[in-house]
Structure 1
Amino acid sequence: MSGISRSRAVPYEIVAIGASAGGVKALLTVLKALPADFPVPLVIVQHLDPRHDTVLAELLDRRSRLRVKLAEDGDVVEPGVAYLAPPDRHLLVGPGGELRLSHRDKVRFVRPSADPLFESVAEVYGQRALVCVLTGTGCDGLAGARAVSSRGGTVVAEDPSTAEFKGMPQAVVNAAAVDLTLPLDEIAAALVALIEGTMSL
């Protein structure tokens, strides 16, 4: 575990997760380990094939104690619900936790991209934002993680040495835009502990 020493008086209000290659397995691992009464909403970007509908939300919902649904434009986020970006749409969080789906240009060749999601979360939630970068190739999530860090939010990354694909978490670690670096099977417990205030950075 790595991180910085920092006390937090501001509670978290949202968790945003970004993943790419290897992400379905990683998301299953994290979501299965979260309690049904998880006290904040989750918003998730998993790079998906834009040419096909996805059953990923249904798969995650069946195997998780949380409710997992495909995000819809205008949804207002609720605690204990995970919202998954649909194929070929960026997922953004607006004021009041209202979700917006965008067909704007791809970011680093992908849509949805973790960067616009993280950046929107940073803008709306500031210090109350908690984001997590999981397995994936490339560096999607890096710019968004920097935005979250710059506004006092917290960034967790999967340990690149244990990630199925290390590109995305490694980029965040290399840029020092991360507060905690953890093996995949420890991430869910850390998210719970951070939100409950039983883990300090």
Structure 2
Amino acid sequence: MTVSINDYKAIVIGGSAGSFSVVSKMLAKIKPDFKLPIIICMHRLKHVRSGLVDSLNIKSNIPVVEPFDKDKIEPGKVYIAPSNYHLFIEFDNTFSLSTEGVHNHSRPAIDYTLSSAATSFRGKLIGIILTGANKDGAQGMKQIHTKNGYTIVQDPKTCDIVTMPKATLDLFTPKAIMSPDEITNFLNNLE
């Protein structure tokens, strides 16, 4: 089955323990002319506010930024949830930041980002869950699945910590289970 890039408006990725190296390697291999916005929510230390974006920009072929509240989502950019803020996607194709309480012991919470993206983009969304140490993100991935988005779970055999992918697989069967290299190849081969 050929998946067309024209069928989608955004990609949303969630990850926790072990996901920084996966995301870093993926962004280093994504084509520089990649058109869709990539929105990433990773669990981060709340007191460490700098360094992550700079580290990813060194490797990434496309610009990586932390969005501000009400920033417009633009193609060809990678957005990463800021430290100590929940990141929501609004119907008007903008971001919303929140400091409301933690969810699944985390702020940013992956479930919030994925669920709001599912509500905003519906079937025009590709959702990806990566390695991680808790169940945050599983419910958000289920929302993407329920709204007919394209769901990808990192193959647990390739994960540093399998809790997050396994929690997702316990809820539903995704469109694909892939290694990080296979995920990158899938994205680069969207036609």
Q: Quickly name the TM-score band, shorter chain normalised.
A: over 0.9
Residues 22-71 of structure 1: CA deviation (Å, up to 9, x unaligned): 11101111111111111110111111111221311111111111100112
Please tell me whether residue 23 in structure 1 is matched to residue 19 in structure 2: yes
Please tell me whether residue 71 in structure 1 is matched to residue 67 in structure 2: yes
Please tell me whether residue 175 in structure 1 is matched to residue 171 in structure 2: yes
Give the Cα separation in 1 of the matches to 2:88 and 2:173: 21
Match of 1:82, as an amino acid? V
Please tell me whether residue 185 in structure 1 is matched to residue 187 in structure 2: no
Aligned to 2:149: 153
Give the Cα separation in 2 of the matches to 1:104 and 1:192: 36
Aligned to 1:41: 37
When normalised by structure 2's length, the TM-score is 0.94
Give the Cα separation in 1 of the matches to 2:97 and 2:118: 17
Secondary structure of 2:157's aligned partner: coil
Give the Cα separation in 1 of the matches to 2:186 and 2:11: 12
Give the Cα separation in 2 of the matches to 1:9 and 1:39: 8
Please tell me whether residue 89 in structure 1 is matched to residue 67 in structure 2: no
Give the Cα separation in 2 of the matches to 1:53 and 1:177: 36
Gaps of 5+ in 2: none
Q: Taking structure 1 as reference, are residues 7 and 149 closer, same or farther at Cα in structure 2, changes over 3 Å only?
A: same
Match of 2:158, as an amino acid? T
Give the aligned length.
Answer: 191
Q: CA RMSD in A?
A: 1.8
Shift of 1:74: 1.5
Gaps of 5+ in 1: 197-201
Give the Cα separation in 2 of the matches to 1:7 and 1:189: 12
Secondary structure of 2:156's aligned partner: coil
Q: % of aligned pairs identical? A: 27
Match of 1:99, as an amino acid? F
CA contact (8 A) 1:146 1:177 kept: no
Q: Taking structure 1 as reference, are residues 7 and 29 closer, same or farther at Cα in structure 2, changes over 3 Å only?
A: closer
Q: Taking structure 1 as reference, are residues 6 and 177 closer, same or farther at Cα in structure 2, changes over 3 Å only?
A: farther
Give the Cα separation in 1 of the matches to 2:141 and 2:177: 13
Secondary structure of 2:7's aligned partner: coil
Give the Cα separation in 1 of the matches to 2:35 and 2:81: 20
Give the Cα separation in 2 of the matches to 1:28 and 1:120: 24
Please tell me whether residue 105 in structure 1 is matched to residue 101 in structure 2: yes
Give the Cα separation in 1 of the matches to 2:164 and 2:47: 23
Match of 2:89, as an amino acid? V
When normalised by structure 1's length, the TM-score is 0.89
